[in-house]
Amino acid sequence: MQIPVNSPHDDRLSAAKSACLLVAIMMSSTGALAYPSGWPSTATIPYNLGGSLDGKYKASSGKTYDGTGYIVVVIDGAFDTRNPVFKDAKGKSKIPVEACFGEALNATFPSLCKTTTWIPRPLPGNPSAGYFFSSLSGSSKPMDAPDNTCRDTNNPSKPQYCHYFHGSATAGIVVGQPTLRWDGGYKMTYTGVAPGANVITLKVGGGRGTNVSQGWPINSVVDALEYVNRALLPRADVGSKIVAVSISANGSSIAGTSPCATGGGGDRIDAAAAVLKKKGVAVVMAAGNDAVNGTGTWNCGSNVIPVGATSIVTPATPTNYTNISQRVSLFAPVGTGNFKSGDLVLAPWADSGSFYVWGTSFAAPQVAGAFAVLRQKFGKGPSVDALVKLLVRTGTPLKGTRAGLAAQGASVLNIKAALNGSPA
């Protein structure tokens, strides 16, 4: 995997690809090809979901919604919380809580948590297992760990599993403050799905169990989900506001719709998701980027919401790379990161600027952000399942040759249409 490098001066970056985290980017370039209808607004995620360039959705009642009052949790490799998109118009941080989870294995796969706090957590066959933990300010940023160096830097020679750019993008897609970008003579805007909402950033990059196909250690992902349930939901300041968890990973892509292996990563995630679901918190995951008729070893359960990606140029058509199966009923517009054709959306880059993305990593946080907007209108009364059914029912019907591989009635996210509907 190669980490891309951004120039904060002109908001450009070099081309690179990160398959293990379901992410890829394209270097900006100009061309004479026809752009999609609505260009360059189509590069702004809320615009594709029925909203305005500044991330507001107007219901038929005339009221507007942007997720204000609610919180989405994002579990990812690391986050660069210095990016201006994580502050509201008054300069207040949109990140009320952050934390780091990490299990040290060796110098190659360190804990990546700058703390000596050890949390015991027995595992089958390993009663003394545990992990490093920190919830201090800045703990979700890439940093020096107890046994390795993973500094907060844009230098691509640093350990690739820091993943700081990936987390910055996924969290920014949820709550990013509207920001301008000029490219190829076009005035563009990048805005989060729910810019009125807040985000909790939980870092799980590196540590025991890390590998190139999965990106993060499964134990850390499960630990983060347990933290949401046991530590965050009971908190008076944030607990009642949490509506969704976004995880932009799928484990290893597998064909078919077989149930999760007992005791495997997907089984463990699904069990944690079931508990959160009963408490009104949706767990949203990336479907995967391997173009298989299936999903993955981590999102195989019935209590998670796998999300696929569709094109920007040919709306409502699944991208060639997205995993797709009968488990996938929701898709979000992402495209292929191609500036020449306009088949792209913008996401925040590390500490500043933006970049073009492709991958289902950037579909999942769109759906997670939608929960904040819907809860703002409908409150905490409707169940997670009721809101998912509303999103599927009011979305744009999926089309194209691969549409039949998805769940019956599968559709592309349309938040404005959902606001004008009613949860079953």
Q: How many helices (H) and strands (E) would you count in the chain? A: 7, 23
Residue-wise DSSP of 35-47: PPTTTTGGGSHHH
From 51, 4, 42, 19, select the one nearest 338 (Cα to Cα): 42
Backbone angles phi, psi at 283, to 5 degrees: -110, 115
Cis upstream peptide for 365 (omega within 30°): no
Catalytic residues: 76, 166, 361
257 burial class (0-12, 13-18, 19+ CB within 10 angstroms)?
Answer: middle
DSSP assigned state of 231: I
Contact between 396 and 411 (Cβ < 8 Å): yes
Backbone angles phi, psi at 367, to 5 degrees: -70, -40
Contact between 78 and 180 (Cβ < 8 Å): no
CA distances from 4 to 33, 167, 349, 350 (A): 26, 14, 10, 10
For tokens 């950033």, the residue is 201
